[in-house]
Amino acid sequence: MKVPILLPNIFNYPFTYESDLNLKVGDYVVVPFGKFEITGVVWDEFEKKNNKNFKVKRVLKKLNVTPLKRTTIKFLNWFSEYNIIPKGMALKLVLLSSNAIEKFPKVAYENFKFDIKDNSIKLSEQQKKSLKKMNISNQKFRVHVLQGITGSGKTMVYFEALKEIINKNFQGLILLPEIGLTGQFEKKFLEFFGFMPAVWHSGISKKKKEIIWSGISNGDIRVIIGARSSLFLPFKKLGLIIVDEEHDQSYKQDEGITYNARDMAISRASFENIPINLITAVPSIETYENIKKGKYTISRIEQRYQNASLPNYEIINLNETKLEKQSWLSKKIVDRVNSHLEKNDQVLFFLNRRGFSPHVLCDKCFNSYSCPNCSVNLVYHKKKNDLLCHYCGFKTPLKRTCVKNGSCEFIFCGPGVERISEEVKKKFSTKKIEIFSSDTMNKKDSRVRLKKIIDNEVQILVGTQLISKGFHFPNLNCIVVVDIDLSSQGHDLRGAEKNLQLYHQLSGRAGRTGKPATVYFQTYNTNIRMISDLTNSNPNIFLDKELEIRRKNKLPPYQRFISLILTGEDEKKLEKEAFYFKNFIEKKIDGKVLGPVSAPIFRLKKKYRIRLLVRGYKSLKLQNSIAKNILDYKFSVGIKLSVDVDPINFN
């Protein structure tokens, strides 16, 4: 008999094979493809008929793997259509290095043995009410938002909801925005449930991934804690999805196959007909609009765990104080920090910039150091004495021969966390200081560093936004935002929303165990109301204003954006192609085409970039019309098109 087999490659349809095996939809098989043998899945539809006569090859073997569920196949078909990617590439997200993993002996899954312990954690009245609301209709699809101020114990509430689901013999998935969170979170999970979850992210070894993949497929592993990619694991009996920090921009996959893991998680829950819980302190604008429309249910926790108070806010006006040369910390801040250190409080200096300085130039020849591959400045990392591109990874030593004579004499413009750390060490020389950024906390010793911070062996942290992502530091009671003006600049459509979420998350790191805490904002901006809006304990006031601005201007979530990015090595050829392409598609699709314009980062990884933005109604008609017309357009040699549905960043 003939069977349709979808392969993990760039084709948008399954290939037809012959087989005498008893094959059903979802079975994993090995088939010949060109000169290779490749793993595929029996799909739910045949390729479209074509008139060419071709020889049909035979399926080589069926693999001993639990079949992919029909509901998962339907989700992948929809995922492909929504994100305008080939079905074969959607399947590739499910497979492990394009392979399906056959069953291991039972002993391989021993580490993840399911055995829930009795715990004696008492929930507050607000937590109990939230749990009750969360567990209504827990047998079928619904989206519930658990909104709670930082430190309110949201995790304990959704752990209780998950416990109920896995006690009924279902599997659970907890999505986290950052792999750096999994270590601390895994420990919290073990303390509550008494058994080990499976952790899934890019840093897990190949062998461990194989065991987890097969254990999820055959039902021997009950709970996955993972980053974006864990959403595509082949669950046998998925019963609940939890998206922690649902507002976090890290859920957006920007390279390769682009998708928003939060939105795709909601869709997967819909296809599986299971509940999904979105957890947040400040909802994303899309989630907030769906709450207001009544599409999502919501429960709120407005008190911190054990009634710990929220931090106070104090604004340090830098117009009223003269900073020392090459200094970013006012005398007033130094005095405030000293008073906190005397009380044994931990202190955080926050600046969302990695490295030592974001811009380096020569004082003699005025040469500015930019990346040869990208149209961005090179960032100076003093610890390694290198200039580094944060986009393509290009690295070069700082030392330069000056065109005038001798060596360049460098001027470092602006601070990064390394530079602030240097100043902090001078001002507080007796204290143990640690930089908390992706450069320091994604290393093998990051667990050891984290433990020292939690145990108050580190008195002062200097950190980027990574620190705002859900870490629990019991002694942190003083946060200094070195320069709030830096994060309020720029022309990002989502800038205000991102800042609201960032500063709520950041302030939530302070005062979690009940001691008085303060967040200090250094600023030159006399518009104090902006800071008050960002830090208001009721973020919904800000979100309501933001929604009204978006509605008036026909911006997401009221209309959909789809970004079309053309890249190529020949700048002039690319500009011409962008105009030809716009003229070709603008009258054929169900949306308005804006652009073409040069991307803000015009050159990236040696390729020039031009953007078009399609704006239209929220319907798959828009994606379908774009997909159809892209197929009909022949791009010039060397020009590549990337499609980003619902873009978060506009670089």
User: Which residues of the chain are modeled with pLDDT < 70?
Assistant: 49-53, 120, 137-138, 180-181, 305-308, 442-445, 470, 485-492, 526-528, 530, 535
> For the chain, which residues make up each domain, given as ranges?
2-94, 106-306, 308-356+415-542, 560-645
Can you point out the beta strands (E) in 154-293? 171-175, 198-200, 223-226, 238-243, 252-253, 259-260, 275-280
The secondary structure of 526-589, three-state, reads: CCHHHHHHHHCCCCHHHHHHHHHHHHHCCCCCCCEEEEEEEEECCHHHHHHHHHHHHHHHCCCC
Does residue 142 sit in helix, strand or coil?
Answer: strand
Q: DSSP characters for 423-463? A: HHHHHTTTS-EEEESHHHHTSTTHHHHHHHHHTT---EEEE
How far is the C-alpha of 613 from the C-alpha of 227, rounded, in Å? 28
How far is the C-alpha of 217 from the C-alpha of 103, rounded, in Å? 9
Beta carbons of 46 and 4 less than 8 angstroms apart: yes
237 exposed, middle or buried (CB, 10 Å; 0-12, 13-18, 19+)?
middle
What residue spans of 124-260 are helical by DSSP H? Answer: 125-135, 154-167, 182-193, 206-218
Phi, psi angle pair for 107, to nearest 5°: -60, -25
Give Rg (Cα) of the chain.
Answer: 27
Beta carbons of 420 and 412 less than 8 angstroms apart: no
- The neighbour count for residue 398, using CB atoms within 10 Å, is 17
Which of 555, 620, 639, 625 has the alpha carbon at shortest distance from 588?
625
**What is the pLDDT, as a whole number, of residue 308?**
66
- Residue environment code for 582-596, b if the CB has 16+ CB neighbours within 10 A, otherwise e: beebeeebebebebb
CA 326 to chain centre: 35
Beta carbons of 228 and 203 less than 8 angstroms apart: no
Phi, psi angle pair for 317, to nearest 5°: -80, 110
**What is the pLDDT, as a whole number, of residue 90?**
97
Which of 289, 256, 253, 243 has the alpha carbon at shortest distance from 89?
256
Name which CATH class applies to 308-356+415-542: alpha beta
Return the C-alpha torsion angle 147, 148, 150, 152, nearest 10.
-150
Beta carbons of 522 and 484 less than 8 angstroms apart: yes
Place of tokens 């490659």: 9
How far is the C-alpha of 62 from the C-alpha of 27, rounded, in Å? 7
Name the amino acid, one letter, at 438. S
Which of 381, 484, 481, 475 has the alpha carbon at shortest distance from 431?
475
**What is the pLDDT, as a whole number, of residue 492?**
66
Place of tokens 């667990």: 447
- The neighbour count for residue 18, using CB atoms within 10 Å, is 12
User: Same topology for domains 2-94 and 308-356+415-542, yes or no?
Assistant: no
CA distances, 454 to each of 183, 430, 442, 536, 651 (Å): 13, 19, 17, 28, 36
Which of 475, 536, 473, 520 has the alpha carbon at shortest distance from 349?
520
| Lateral strand order in the sheet of 238-243 | 198-200, 223-226, 171-175, 238-243, 275-280, 142-148, 297-301
**What is the pLDDT, as a whole number, of residue 438?**
78
Pairing relation of β-strands 379-381 and 386-388? Answer: antiparallel
Name the amino acid, one letter, at 588. K
Cis peptide before 557 (omega within 30 of 0): yes
Quote the tokens at residue 9: 């490659």
Tell me the CATH number for domain 106-306. 3.40.50.300
Quote the tokens at residue 293: 């429309």
Could you confirm whether domain 2-94 is CATH 3.40.1440.60? Answer: yes
CATH of 560-645, one of 3.90.550.10, 3.30.70.600, 3.30.70.1400, 3.30.390.30: 3.30.70.600
CA 230 to chain centre: 13
